[in-house]
Amino acid sequence: MRALVYRGPKNVAVEDVPDAEIEKPTDVLVKITTTNICGSDLHMYEGRTDVEEGKVLGHENMGEVIAVGDAVDRVKVGDMVCLPFNIGCGFCKNCEHGRTAFCLTANPGTAGAAYGYASMGPYDGGQAELLRVPWADWNCLVLPDDAREKENDYVMLSDILPTGYHGTQLAQVGTGDSVVVWGAGPVGLMAAMSARIRGAAEVYVVDRQPDRLELVEQIDATPVDDSGDDAVDQVLDLTRGEGADAGVEAVGYQAHDHEGHERPGMTINSLIAAVRPTGRIGVVGVFLPQDPHAQDEMARQGRFPMDFGTFFFKGQTMGTGQANVKQYNRGLRNLIHRGAINPGLIVSQELGLEEAAEGYRNFDDRVDGWTKVLLRP
Amino acid sequence: MRALVYRGPKNVAVEDVPDAEIEKPTDVLVKITTTNICGSDLHMYEGRTDVEEGKVLGHENMGEVIAVGDAVDRVKVGDMVCLPFNIGCGFCKNCEHGRTAFCLTANPGTAGAAYGYASMGPYDGGQAELLRVPWADWNCLVLPDDAREKENDYVMLSDILPTGYHGTQLAQVGTGDSVVVWGAGPVGLMAAMSARIRGAAEVYVVDRQPDRLELVEQIDATPVDDSGDDAVDQVLDLTRGEGADAGVEAVGYQAHDHEGHERPGMTINSLIAAVRPTGRIGVVGVFLPQDPHAQDEMARQGRFPMDFGTFFFKGQTMGTGQANVKQYNRGLRNLIHRGAINPGLIVSQELGLEEAAEGYRNFDDRVDGWTKVLLRP
Amino acid sequence: MRALVYRGPKNVAVEDVPDAEIEKPTDVLVKITTTNICGSDLHMYEGRTDVEEGKVLGHENMGEVIAVGDAVDRVKVGDMVCLPFNIGCGFCKNCEHGRTAFCLTANPGTAGAAYGYASMGPYDGGQAELLRVPWADWNCLVLPDDAREKENDYVMLSDILPTGYHGTQLAQVGTGDSVVVWGAGPVGLMAAMSARIRGAAEVYVVDRQPDRLELVEQIDATPVDDSGDDAVDQVLDLTRGEGADAGVEAVGYQAHDHEGHERPGMTINSLIAAVRPTGRIGVVGVFLPQDPHAQDEMARQGRFPMDFGTFFFKGQTMGTGQANVKQYNRGLRNLIHRGAINPGLIVSQELGLEEAAEGYRNFDDRVDGWTKVLLRP
Amino acid sequence: MRALVYRGPKNVAVEDVPDAEIEKPTDVLVKITTTNICGSDLHMYEGRTDVEEGKVLGHENMGEVIAVGDAVDRVKVGDMVCLPFNIGCGFCKNCEHGRTAFCLTANPGTAGAAYGYASMGPYDGGQAELLRVPWADWNCLVLPDDAREKENDYVMLSDILPTGYHGTQLAQVGTGDSVVVWGAGPVGLMAAMSARIRGAAEVYVVDRQPDRLELVEQIDATPVDDSGDDAVDQVLDLTRGEGADAGVEAVGYQAHDHEGHERPGMTINSLIAAVRPTGRIGVVGVFLPQDPHAQDEMARQGRFPMDFGTFFFKGQTMGTGQANVKQYNRGLRNLIHRGAINPGLIVSQELGLEEAAEGYRNFDDRVDGWTKVLLRP
């Protein structure tokens, strides 16, 4: 089959690789119909991880089931399914309590597994024609009969929509709250959309890229442009000096200051300042325990100087980590099916699989207007 | 009346001061029967805060109501009451949602007020014969008829027992959990007791002072001596390599390493390492937004290098801040009343008010066996 | 002052009564600008309660503060305020835990007090020129500067919007849920609106009055007409045979069957049938412990034959009772202020106070198009 | 193999039946070491259900894994396991959200399946030498190395301990609460033990059998003897007229009044009266949707006259249904392992499998001292 393969920093290529197939009786095989390039794929692309050469990338996957293992009870050949980016077993201590991003079985020695991702187990990704899905009865979200018609919406259930929603869940966003989201990339936009779903009264999204700020307005949130005035001050002003009730971090360790220097922690400290006392902060932007290619020693160890005194004095709460996609994907699917939300509106490019390498290059270069790239194998 | 007055770093004295009195119709006046010296009083005593000279200290107070204002409906003269260390109005956005440690009314400009404490409003403390209690219907916990008999237990409801309990609430300790508490001072011991109340199966408490480790055993928890082997490794071993389900920080910014250097953040990073993926951490040890007398610039700004990458990768959650005492003090009072818990067991000294200065000196010097000091005005 | 006074079954009149005034230092005095007739006022109007003659009715009140007691700290003369229908003290065991509809202080011997209502304490109502508000710092919701402009929306914060919302809270409505509401009266409509706020994907509202079913559509929910086919069957069909995830009862004990007989419990048993296994049901329609004028002995004792076996077998949960308005009114106020919701759309009549008796008569007669009546003193 | 087989009302026998075996790749086969007779087995024994003749009974099972299917990843031959009485698939809408007692896969058309039970699917029970366990990676709780030593404790994890605990979860029992449990049978006793685990300050258990009341004292709760004075009055007195904060129903539809008449609903209405306004009630005693052998028409339809008016007026909440065992069994296992609880103390008889019929007879006759019967195949 054809697949997008990692060949080294800034080097990916679509190649012939052996077909994915059923390996265990609990597997199904999925013919991929849409697979996205994710902002976190760029961590690998840029050589910031230890992902092995030859890995097939792609963890935002959707497609049609074409074969099922002998022990599969629920999923049927012909089902259109969306796959959570994290792979779970369904029966470990974490999975059974809904913490499906931290499966203890799928990637022994680590809590958490994913398709086509560094340190996330031996699983190939779905930027390919075929994908093997382990523990399929647990992992597959079966889609309703408008699956093909709303494919650009449903594919967002694999990662960014539940990830954005997870940010608002960690931040306990509720009816009438004011919410600030740091970062208007795909995850930040989905967090803003999620805050609306949960009944927030005010939703602010901080970024400095004009195309992203425009999308903020399209999803009925208020853009906060931090290219000029200090974003924290702006949020404090907008919330009558009080600070937002809740905040979501959707940037991660590769935040950059106005001079273009990478400053991990900048967004976290900004949120501590911009969120009110007793406020809650959800962190879904990625931070790494080690970052060997970072510029200073502290960052290489996955550390930064956190405003912990202020964090404590304000009595804030912070939740972190990858999204437990399965906690949210059924409910969000229902909202898409009913037409209440349309997360696909952020899609900017739909490419063939053979154009994937070009997609990576442009997305990594943050070419204007390249917000969210879909591949159609 | 006689009262313990702050006169400068390491300088407190019992002096004659004007009698506390009813100032507003919602006040009551309390004749103090027991008032404790708290570990956090030592931050002021050591000159690490900007507390004004002349302030009467003391925020762990209990006594008898001897006068009530015209607008007081519930509290009666003669009631024995225990006062939460934090002062709330009862009707602001935070108080009405139970976040009583972050009152927006009592200390304008800051979320939170307390008796006799730096930056916590113009309220004198209770290390004195009399105490004025504002918004008394809201702030007073009325005690049952065994108030005098179990005075050493009930007085702990003013701060350290609810504070320890708050740590376990922030850490969401539940039935069958493993819990690690960093610090076996009064708050840490109360956190361990609270973890038992909440049905924890394993409770580990880390410290290096032998008298404190002995108290850990008395409250049916497992001491972890970090004077020798690394405490994180010990906790990981005790939890079968997995890490504890939940952790509580009960030390604060004045943690010291084995060489005796103050290392704010040491306990936080240890907890991140010792708690399992998806685990919860409650922080009730005090951290300050500014610490002008700290040794390095980062600490002076209330910052430290936090292992945020690991924190995120493990998907942990952290709650912080002073205890919302009123959320817990009714329930904990009931447990004392029924004899289910006896927090007073940690009391090591009971002094007269006139001996208060000596009490501060010995407690600050961490004289062996000075665990918890009570004053009887 | 002029006020609407209860004079006996189906007999109310606007009369001169002594002016309301400040009686305690924690009171404020409010000049009423809008006060609604509530469906539950009709229980009194119809003689189904033991309300005393001479009582001023009206518990859905909004107005301007014109005097404040000596012990009032927060509320100021000139503030526009909306008053929760239930009166709380703010400091009893129930109030301090947010169960403000069950105050133990305001109406000794009963958990709960209200303005102008049978068995709810000695408080006169607000269908009058002036209203005394006890424990005003606790009870007043201060409105923003668009208070007059959006008066028809804000006045709904006194009762029906938080009551409808409470139904969805008791039913734990969440993202992507299917919800069925029994009753499209004002509370049922507000429950449907609240389900939308909370991110429900499907909202069904059961009624048989055409004007009400039309309003269901206006708030973007799906009407279920039970004048013909069985409503339970319709809901089961709409939810693919599964039953709704959550249900809200917004009718109460005066439900009528198709033959026009009063059948308390009919709606409860319908909800048990129409909600799925493990589903949650919130009951905000009023049920009475005694109903002396009911037609059969069981109903007189406040009982009905409940399908408890099915309720248990399906593992459902049921929450009941009057709304803890203060839990919700800040957040809902914010949504009105931001223009996200417009509960005033259900207002059908705006009358002067002098027309109040006519308003009662028409509303009680369920004259077509009399959905929600506002009085402007 | 030998197994206890249902042969008709009051007629069970130990017979030779075909060996249980692996039928699907996700199954394991367990050699039973302990299996209990449950109070709910008596519903079948007494002919009150439509259980088919020839069914092997027994849903409280523990034993050793002796064979595993090809698709089993976690459970190993030689593991000592305890099986939740309810059988779940692990991946349906209910299982994946922790509502494991309401599996939508295991018993098509009904939400919920169990071993050896009427209407709970085609699964034979474990009162036999061997038991087939479907979806074994999901259903098996693996026990630590003291499994054989504490067998009488661990076997209670199959049903009655999690069921009692579920009652306290539905009733939201928390720190310092007062709790009343109706019924001191095995489930009621476990509910009382669970209330203690959760930090309740006062635990009352209502019954009239002296041997059961004695066990109440052994688990450190307060017996309330309802053979004489009205139990509701006693509970109100014990709770200072207020009523208990929380209540648990552990009797079910076969409650009997003092004259010996079966009165379904008696315990529910008593709880409504004995629990305070805003209190929570958890119902884990069994109620049936149909009860063809009941004495009156209403009971035959699974109904009774419920004091709904009082229930609503007090704003109470009620949760019902079979226990989601998997939500609790890990945590409770940990408490047994650490020696914090010893639920096996209620065991009154340990019989060989061949004595099972005699065990049923005596247990059904409520022979004095026959509290909890264990079978050792």
pLDDT digits over B124-175, tens only?
999 999 999 999 999 999 999 999 999 999 999 999 999 999 999 999 999 9
Q: Which residues contact A240 (CB under 8 A, 6 or more apart)?
A: none
- How far D245 CA lies from chain B's nearest CA (Å)? 11
B124 touches chain D (CB under 8 A): no
Cβ within 8 Å of residue C194, ≥6 positions away: C161, C164, C165, C167, C168, C173
- Whether residues D202 and B330 touch (CB distance < 8 A) is answered with no
Residues of A in contact with D326 (CB under 8 A): 96
Over its length of 377 residues, how does chain A's per-residue pLDDT go in tens digits? Answer: 999 999 999 999 999 999 999 999 999 999 999 999 999 999 999 998 999 999 999 999 999 999 999 999 999 999 999 999 999 999 999 999 999 999 999 999 999 999 999 999 999 999 999 999 999 999 999 999 999 999 999 999 999 999 999 999 999 999 999 999 999 999 999 999 999 999 999 999 999 999 999 999 999 999 999 998 899 999 999 999 999 999 999 999 999 998 889 999 999 999 999 999 999 999 999 999 999 889 899 999 999 999 999 999 999 999 999 999 999 999 999 999 999 999 999 999 999 999 999 999 999 998 988 999 999 99
Answer yes or no: are the C-beta atoms of C139 and C87 closer than 8 Å: yes
pLDDT of residue C91: 97
Residues of chain B contacting residue A315, judged by C-beta atoms under 8 Å apart: 99, 101-102, 111-112, 320-322
Q: Rounded to whole angstroms, how far apart are CA atoms D89 and D75? A: 15
Please indicate whether, in this complex, the C-beta atoms of D334 and B198 are within 8 angstroms of each other: no
Q: Do C26 and B97 touch (CB under 8 A)?
A: no
pLDDT bucket at B79, cuts 50 / 70 / 90: very high
Q: What interface predicted TM-score (ipTM) does this complex get?
A: 0.97
Nearest CA-CA partner of C17 in C53, C56, C45, C44: C56
| CA distances, A145 to each of A213, A339, B206 (Å) | 34, 14, 57
Q: Nearest-CA distance from D376 to chain C in Å?
A: 31
Note the pTM of the prediction, 2 decimals.
Answer: 0.98
Euclidean distance between CA atoms A18 and A14, whole angstroms: 13
A312 neighbourhood in chain B, CB within 8 Å: 283, 286-288, 320-321
Taking the alpha carbons of A144, A150, A155, A161 in that order, is the dihedral positive or negative?
negative
Give D260-270 pLDDT, tens digit per residue: 899 999 999 99
Q: What's the length of chain D? A: 377
The residue to which tokens 């003269």 are assigned: B77
Q: Is some CB atom of chain D closer than 8 A to the CB atom of A76?
A: no
* Cβ contact D310–C298 (<8 Å): no
> Both tokens of residue C50?
């033991």
Q: Please indicate whether, in this complex, the C-beta atoms of B338 and D202 are within 8 angstroms of each other.
A: yes
The closest alpha carbon to B103, from A278, C189, D161, belongs to A278
Return d(Cα C63, Cα B317) in angstroms, integer: 44
> Percent of chain B beyond pLDDT 90?
95
Q: Look at residue B228 in the predicted model and tell me its pLDDT.
A: 87
Q: What pLDDT does residue C102 have?
A: 98
**Confidence at residue B2, expressed as pLDDT on a 0 to 100 scale:** 98
End-to-end CA distance of chain A: 10
DSSP D305: E
pLDDT digits (tens, 9 = 90+) for A226-276: 998 899 999 999 999 999 999 999 999 999 998 889 999 999 999 999 999
Touching subunits of C (3+ CB pairs, under 8 Å) are: A, B, D
A12: tokens are 């990916």
Amino acid D293: pLDDT: 87
Q: Does C295 score more than 90 pLDDT?
A: no
- pLDDT at B97 > cutoff 90: yes
Shortest CA distance from B138: residue in chain C: C91
Average pLDDT, chain D: 97
Instruction: Please count the CA atoms within 13 angstroms of the CA of C18 that sit on its side-chain side.
Output: 6
Q: Give yes or no for a contact between D161 and D60, defined as CB atoms under 8 angstroms apart.
A: no
CB–CB of A91 and D105 under 8 A?
Answer: no
Taking the alpha carbons at both ends of chain D, their separation in whole angstroms is: 10
For residues A174 and A168, give the distance between their C-alpha atoms in angstroms, rounded to a whole number.
Answer: 9
Coil vs helix vs strand at A263: coil
Instruction: Indicate the residue of C307, C309, C318 with minimum beta-carbon distance to D291.
Output: C309
**B10 shares contact with chain C (CB less than 8 Å):** no
Query: What is the Cα–Cα distance from C133 to C144, expressed in whole angstroms?
Result: 19
Q: Which residue has the tokens 């939508």?
A: D104
Residue-wise pLDDT for B251-262, tens only, equals 999 999 988 899
Q: What residues have CB less than 8 Å from C290, skipping those under 6 apart?
A: C300, C301, C302, D309
Distance CA B44, CA B39 (A): 10
Closest Cβ–Cβ partner in B102, B302, B308 for A265: B308
Q: In this structure, what token pair is assigned to residue A337? A: 């099916």
Strands A178-182 and A141-142: unpaired
- Reduced to 3 states (helix: H, G, I; strand: E, B; else coil), residue D103 is coil
Residue D23 contacts A, CB cutoff 8 Å: no
The 10s digit of each residue's pLDDT in B18-32 is 999 999 999 999 999
A34 secondary structure, DSSP code:
E
Res. D106 pLDDT band, cuts 50 70 90 = very high
Residues D171 and D174: their CA atoms lie apart, in Å, by 9
Query: Cβ separation of A340 and C178 shorter than 8 Å?
Result: no
Residue D248's nearest CA partner among D265, D231, D233, D268 is D268
Of D275, D268, D282, D273, which Cα lies nearest the Cα of D318?
A: D282
How many Cα atoms occupy the beta-carbon half-sphere of B87 within 13 Å?
29
CA distance C281 to C279: 7
Instruction: With CB atoms and an 8 Å threshold, state whether B73 touches C93.
Output: no
Name residue, tokens 């079910």: D252
Chain CA centroid to CA A309, Å: 30
User: Where does the pLDDT of residue C44 fall: very low under 50, low under 70, confident under 90, or very high at 90 and above?
Assistant: very high
Residue in the structure block whose two tokens are 């009110």: A276
Please choose, from the candidates D51, D66, D42, D71, the residue with its C-alpha nearest in 3D space to the C-alpha of residue D124: D51
The answer to whether the Cβ–Cβ distance between D308 and C303 falls below 8 Å is yes
Residues 298-357 of D with CB under 8 A from B: 328, 330-335, 337-338, 340
The full DSSP string for A187-242 is: HHHHHHHHHHHTT-SEEEEEE--HHHHHHHHHTT-EEEETTSS-HHHHHHHHTTTS
Helix ranges (DSSP H) in B239-282: 266-274
Instruction: Give the residue from chain C lying closest to B106, CA to CA.
Output: C73
Task: Give the separation between CA C227 and CA C243, rounded to whole angstroms.
Answer: 20
Confidence of residue D92 (pLDDT cuts 50, 70, 90): very high
Residue C228 has pLDDT above 90, yes or no: no
Closest residue of chain B to C140, computed from CA coordinates: B91
What's CA B130's distance to the chain center, in Å? 22
Phi-psi map region of D321: left, alpha, beta (phi>0 left; psi -120 to 50 alpha): left
Give, for A271, the enclosing helix (H) or strand (E). Answer: helix A266-274
Of C287, C312, C319, the CB nearest to D308: C287
In chain A, residues with a C-beta closer than 8 Å to the C-beta of D96 are 90, 98, 138, 326
DSSP letter at D51 equals P
Phi-psi region of B213 (alpha: psi -120 to 50; beta: other; left: phi over 0): alpha
- Give which of D114, D87, D83 is closest to D100, Cα–Cα: D87
Residue D262 DSSP symbol: B
Residue C304: its chain D contacts at CB < 8 A? 305-306, 308
Identify which of B98, B105, B330 has the shortest CB distance to residue C98.
B98
Q: Do B90 and C91 touch (CB under 8 A)?
A: yes
Instruction: Report which of D265, D302, D306 is spatially closest to residue C268, judged by C-alpha positions.
Output: D306
pLDDT value of residue A136: 98
Provide φ and ψ at A233, rounded to 5°: -60, -40
Q: What gap in Å lies between CA C313 and CA D306, rounded to an integer?
A: 17
Q: Is A315 helix (H, G, I), strand (E, B) or coil?
A: coil
Q: How many CB atoms lie within 10 A of CB B113?
A: 25
- Cβ separation of C331 and A178 shorter than 8 Å? no
- Give me the pLDDT at residue B265, please: 94
Q: Inter-chain contact D313–C253, Cβ cutoff 8 Å?
A: no
